[in-house]
A = this chain, B = another copy of it.
Amino acid sequence: MTPPLGALLATPLSVVTAGVDLFPEALRAQGVTVQPVDWRPPAFGDPQDLAAVAADPRRFPANRVATERILAAGAELVNVRPAADALELDRDLFLHAGPPIEFGNASGPLRGALIGAALFEGLAADPAEAVAMLDSGQIRLEPCHHHRAVGPMAGVTTASMWVSELRDPINGGRAYCSLNEGLGKVLRYGAYSAEVIDRLHWMGEVLGPVLAAAVAKSGPVDIKSILAQMLQMGDEGHNRNRAGSLMFLRDLAPGIAGSDAPAGQVADVLAFIGGNEHFFLNYGMPAAKLALDAARDIPASTVVVAMARNGTDFGIQTSGTGDAWFTGPAQTPDGLFLGGYGPDDANPDIGDSAIMETLGVGGFSMAAAPAIVRFVGGTVPDALATTRRMYGITVTENPAYAIPVLEFRGAPTGIDVLSVARTGILPQINTGMAGRVAGTGQVGAGLVKPPQECFEKALAALADRSRLHR
């Protein structure tokens, strides 16, 4: 099939070049027709794996189906009730953020939150007893994600905590998340002092029941609609939830006031929600999980359906690889610190909240929230550039989550493992920072990326499946 070299040189040359400009320039100088192609070598990944995944004819339609389901998904808050009920959680089973982990490998904030939860549940009388029960396996640990739930930061969710239940009216799923405690000294950042445990009791005795009554009275709250409007109001839905929290308050305030709770409790609940500009995060996260769960288990799809961190490992899951986690060491965020804290105080990345970026909001939609640079660091042009960069590793754009300053372009949606490997662009995550010492609480907020390793492993697993299918 190869033409003889003589024939090649006897006809006018027409050359396609890739790489440095020197080649096409040298050829043009010799009067040769040149078509330069902007091709770059893949940034990482085994070449055989890249080729196997790229050549799989099922990939394109599979990713289309996956992202269509993400875009179509709805999210309504339909109930608030104890996790024992909603998730059928036994008292000795503690859920946590991120991929699976044993207590012995847990970092400070996860240890602190687990200790606090054991105290809150009345399983242990003091931190030492809690540690003993956790160490011995008397208290068992499983990821939230394995129970259709998500939890911010340590994400520790136990039987007596009240959780919200969200329903996807389109794809039919359910997802769950705990109630947000506010900032500072809170369980999810690893604090477990008396004020933390007392607040959790108040949340179980007053906040949860009042919210449940308000939802029953007002009817389902359209969480997807609030997320969409947030992006028009300077929130990105992960580290900035100001407008979202206010809209949630607006939607439920009449139902809260109309509940049978005493006037003092009504005023306390309104003040608690109104005083916590992150309150909505715990509704945005299960809304994102609903959309991404709808995109699971599509053979050959290279779309990421979960990114989550337990404070030690960063893990991702893809649509085409079932329940497998692909993990690497969690990085420490770079950002701004509260009070006297500094980089040495920060724990590595933790929490299920990277589900927001997996959906295409959070760090992916930073352009919608330029004011966030005052909270996570960086500059306004960085924020705009970050969103533009994320279009390079995503399959589609979500018109429901339109970014006004980008002329209403939809949020970059459907992270493609193959595009990440080809470009070397890693997903950008906005996140809170927990103190690395158990019991500290929040120390700051910043920017972080997953380790490349997660995507290398996911690519290899996807390649194995593509080879098996061939």
A267 CA to B252 CA in the complex, in Å? 10
Choose the segment among A242-250, A285-293, A337-345 that binds chain B (4+ C-beta atoms closer than 8 Å). A242-250
A407 on interface, CB distance cutoff 8 Å:
yes
How distant is A134 from chain B, measured CB to nearest CB, in Å?
39
Contact assessment for B254 and A271 in the assembled complex, using a CB-CB cutoff below 8 Å: yes
Chain A interface residues (CB < 8 Å from chain B):
229, 232-235, 242-243, 246-247, 249-251, 253-258, 263-264, 266-268, 270-271, 274, 370-371, 373-374, 379-381, 404-408
Q: Which B residues lie within 8 Å of A258 (CB)?
A: 263-264, 267
CB contact under 8 A between A257 and B263, given known A232-B371, A404-B234, A404-B380 = yes
CB contact under 8 A between A405 and B405, given known A257-B270, A270-B253 = yes
- Minimum CB distance partner of A379 in chain B: B407
Copies in the complex: 2
Q: Which B residues lie within 8 Å of A232 (CB)?
A: 234, 371
Q: A374-B408, A380-B407 are in contact. List 10 more A-B contacts (CB 8 A).
A: A229-B242, A232-B234, A232-B371, A233-B242, A233-B371, A246-B250, A249-B253, A253-B270, A257-B266, A257-B270
Q: Which B residues lie within 8 Å of A407 (CB)?
A: 379-381
Q: Which B residues lie within 8 Å of A374 (CB)?
A: 408
Q: Which B residues lie within 8 Å of A256 (CB)?
A: 257
How distant is A61 from chain B, measured CB to nearest CB, in Å?
34
Q: Is the interface of A mostly helix, strand, loop or mixed?
A: helix
- Minimum CB distance partner of A373 in chain B: B404
- Minimum CB distance partner of A260 in chain B: B263
A232 CA to B379 CA in the complex, in Å? 15
A268 CA to B270 CA in the complex, in Å? 15
A243 CA to B243 CA in the complex, in Å? 6
A249 CA to B273 CA in the complex, in Å? 12
A128 CA to B141 CA in the complex, in Å? 78
How distant is A38 from chain B, measured CB to nearest CB, in Å?
27
How distant is A452 from chain B, measured CB to nearest CB, in Å?
32
Listed A/B pairs (15) with beta-carbon separation below 8 Å:
A229-B242, A233-B233, A233-B235, A233-B242, A234-B243, A253-B271, A254-B270, A254-B271, A257-B263, A257-B266, A258-B264, A371-B404, A380-B406, A380-B408, A405-B405
How distant is A383 from chain B, measured CB to nearest CB, in Å?
9
Q: Which B residues lie within 8 Å of A405 (CB)?
A: 370, 380, 405
